[in-house]
Structure 1
Amino acid sequence: MANKLRNDKTCVASVVFCFLMLSFVHMTKASQARVTQAKELEVQKLLNKLNKPAVKSLKSPDGDTIDCVHISHQPAFDHPKLKNHKLQMRPTFLPKGIKSFPESSKTIDQMWHQSGSCPEGTIPIRRTTKDDIMRASSFQRFGMKDNMSIPNLSDSLYSSANNHEYATAEVVKDIYYGAKAFLNVWKSNVQQRNELSLSQIWVMNQGDNDNVQSIEAGWQIHPMLYGDDRPRLFAYWTSDSYERTGCYNLQCSGFVQVTNAVVMGGTIGPLSLYDNTQYEFNLLIWKDRGTGNWWLQFQNVFVGYWPAFMFESLSESATVIQWGGEVINRKSNGRHTSTEMGSGYFPRVGFGRASYFRDLSTVNENNYLVIPNYIRDYASKPRCYDIVLNGYSRDFGAHFFYGGPGRNPYCPI
């Protein structure tokens, strides 16, 4: 009898245990379903915010969908301070003294132009997809930079902290109202999806409490952001050291686009080839003395502007200008990855083989483009990526070569 009671109790206990386990599994699945549903709703909410109603849509050969959005419906106007903003369709003042250099390279275009154009009164915007958002480190930081290393702009350059590495030219300790350069474009190899390679101009200021404010533009290969390894035109801004403000392109309110001819985040090409044709574009970032807004010009097209009110110290002027390359190296098995900067070759191989910036200019207090008096160079890991300043030439103006292959026998870590 005692054995029978024990067996009955064991049986009951087993039934209770199984019931509890089934209940737990059911509750877990239900909880996971609720989390998944909440995540889906959050993704859709962000997509609805970013993807404005289109007047017309184009399918680019690179796979992007380009939406032609009415200029007054663009993401910039989600910003509360831009609710009653009057569009500035053209800058009121252009920098003087723009020089023409002999043609040493061919200009590039954007691939989406092969599919058509956007009507007057609209701007082209690369449509954000669900996959774009799911690749981000978090929904809250979608379109923002992660893990930035912040320099002390008063006396030093960027360090290679937080996996960011640099090869740059820089002018400091003066007042600047803009910067210009020509950049050639390459198909850099980016080894891992969470890495990137870019070449850009930085226009920066450091206000109270070492708060870095920055406007940036150039070309980048950024698989996490775009889902591919194509070189793309981009711009970025921040007013608080990359913490809570700013984003790439039009992925938050801020940058006001006015042209219907350029897609921020759009694929660019053709691309430079080793010992072959070099393809380049010119960029100019400058402060409009009439409105205080910071304008971006790409290939002599007025793309748009960052309203002055978005910045504090940078609303007046910049104190640092940088040109050059940057990579993120996440390391693989403790070793440096083979993510390339620029062409993937060191600068000493020269024109036709290495990446370059040419016609380096800054905008002075009199609104003139001038050759910088003193440019200093910096490479955070010169055995991985380096820079060689080449002074001034009649054909290239002030210029430099930069870049590198990443991991090699001299760059193991």
Structure 2
Amino acid sequence: MIPIFVAFLVVVSSALGPVLPLPSLPDSGHQPLANRTLNTDKDIQKLRRVDAYLKKINKPASPDGDIIDCVPSHLQPAFDHPELRGQKPLDPPARPRGHNSTEAGSESFQLWIDTGESCPKGTVPIRRTTEKDILRTSSITRYGRRRRHVRRDSTGSGHEHAVVFENGDQYYGAKASLNVWAPRVTNTYEFSLSQIWIISGSFDNDLNTIEAGWQVSPELYGDNLPRFFTYWTSDAYHTTGCYNLLCSGFVQINNKIAIGAAISPRSSYNGRQFDIGLMVWKDPKHGHWWLEFGSGLLVGYWPTFLFSHLRSHANMVQFGGEIVNTRSSGFHTSTQMGSGHFAREGFRKAAYFRNLQTVDWDNSLVPLKNLRLLSDHSNCYDIRQGRNNAWGTYFYYGGPGRNVRCP
């Protein structure tokens, strides 16, 4: 069981509405009000006001132990960037043609809002980074910027993939639905994720990627819950980019989704399946890359100036799973990918992506034309593709990691 911190929503900035100052009491050595002797009805009234105010701002604990700050949109980390300083978030663009969006304002995809909490209009929910988060990391300077690799750069890095990909064309986005699991991760410095990659450039020094999906990362979050995440880089993960909102880059516009917060509900083996929709596409008017999550919830965008190659288009799209294998015990990790079961087990047992599509130059969703499959170590994690009328192009993927055929 993970520890539950005293978690609450904090509304940052009085700009969200006037907060009446509490009348001050005579100085008594800074003793807390609750510990003071209440001599008058006036003191009791003040204590009640303090108690009511605290109950108002200190919300019930999130089941995942997170503290969520409701930050005014124009004060989020993105606007620390020199090219965004003093600006405000842009209005949403037109979605790609062929996309059916149901803006599901009442849907709950994350644990922190299961209690009915949300952030006020004009703010964005940001998961607070704590001292414990920083102390878990192997390098403070690389916190939130863990070196990660896409498929073609995985040899010898400890990163293993089971993915489908397509290249050879100009891509302006990608879309899919994927089911959410809670795979076991065996140590703090490994992770397991499932995501979409938007890729351009070479795989050496100038790789541009935009990434979104769910991940289990004990180092980053301190638990084994699947969490909604984003990532970006413009120099092959060397110095630019980060997870979520841990650097200036991604601009969030949504007050219902906290990037980095735990996803709920989750799929269960041979039981109910829960999947989420993800779509990334390039706004034809301004050139920024937008992200949609769930059933039509616009999360925000990556400004085009963050990138070099992705200022125009992507030359590859990729879908699937990735794990890190540190071999910390001298053999292959038992960190699971997806559900922890192989693709051949199929529906309700293996993890899947369905309804795979890309976005073309005309801002239209189109089927994939030349999809290819790759598994770095198919005895550890594998992948199988299919197509039908209900799911369009789909695939199952994943595995348990270490087993008799994966020593």
Q: TM-score, normalised by structure 1?
A: 0.81
- Check conservation: 2:162, 2:383, Cα contact below 8 A: yes
- Check conservation: 1:207, 1:312, Cα contact below 8 A: no
Choose the corresponding residue for 2:91, options 85, 89, 92. 89
Q: TM-score, normalised by structure 2?
A: 0.82
Q: What does residue 113 of structure 2 align with?
A: 113
Choose the corresponding residue for 1:370, options 366, 372, 380. 366
Equivalents in 2 of 1:209, 1:237: separation in Å?
16
Deviations 1:267-306 (A, max 9, x none): 0011111111100000000000011000000011110000
- Check conservation: 1:361, 1:369, Cα contact below 8 A: yes
Choose the corresponding residue for 1:337, options 327, 333, 353. 333
User: Cα offset for 1:211?
Assistant: 1.3
Structure 1 unaligned regions, length at least 5: 1-50, 101-106, 152-156
Is 1:61 equivalent to 2:63 in the alignment? Answer: yes
Equivalents in 2 of 1:401, 1:357: separation in Å?
7
Choose the corresponding residue for 2:319, options 320, 323, 336. 323
Is 1:297 equivalent to 2:297 in the alignment? Answer: no
Q: After superposition, where does 1:64-213 map in structure 2 within 5 Å?
A: 64-91=66-93, 93-98=94-99, 109-115=109-115, 116-146=117-147, 148-149=148-149, 157-206=152-201, 211-213=206-208
Is 1:403 equivalent to 2:377 in the alignment? Answer: no
SS in 1 for 2:114: helix
Instruction: Give the direction of change, closer, same or farther, for the CA distance of 1:230–1:138 in structure 2 (3 Å limit).
Output: same
Choose the corresponding residue for 2:209, options 209, 214, 218. 214
- Check conservation: 1:52, 1:73, Cα contact below 8 A: no
User: Cα offset for 1:149?
Assistant: 4.1
Structure that is richer in helix per residue: 1
SS in 2 for 1:132: helix
- Check conservation: 1:164, 1:326, Cα contact below 8 A: yes
Equivalents in 1 of 2:205, 2:246: separation in Å?
26
The aligned amino acid for 1:237 is W
Instruction: Give the direction of change, closer, same or farther, for the CA distance of 1:67–1:108 in structure 2 (3 Å limit).
Output: closer
Equivalents in 2 of 1:121, 1:345: separation in Å?
43
Is 1:347 equivalent to 2:343 in the alignment? Answer: yes
Percent of pairs with identical residues: 48
Q: CA RMSD in A?
A: 1.8
SS in 1 for 2:141: coil
- Check conservation: 1:234, 1:248, Cα contact below 8 A: yes
Structure 2 unaligned regions, length at least 5: 1-9, 17-56, 102-106
- Check conservation: 1:170, 1:377, Cα contact below 8 A: yes
- Check conservation: 2:205, 2:235, Cα contact below 8 A: no
Instruction: Give the direction of change, closer, same or farther, for the CA distance of 1:208–1:222 in structure 2 (3 Å limit).
Output: closer
Q: What does residue 245 of structure 1 align with?
A: 240
User: Cα offset for 1:243?
Assistant: 0.5
Equivalents in 2 of 1:256, 1:332: separation in Å?
37
- Check conservation: 1:178, 1:285, Cα contact below 8 A: yes
Is 1:276 equivalent to 2:277 in the alignment? Answer: no
User: Cα offset for 1:197?
Assistant: 0.2
* Higher gyration radius (CA): 1
Equivalents in 1 of 2:404, 2:155: separation in Å?
19
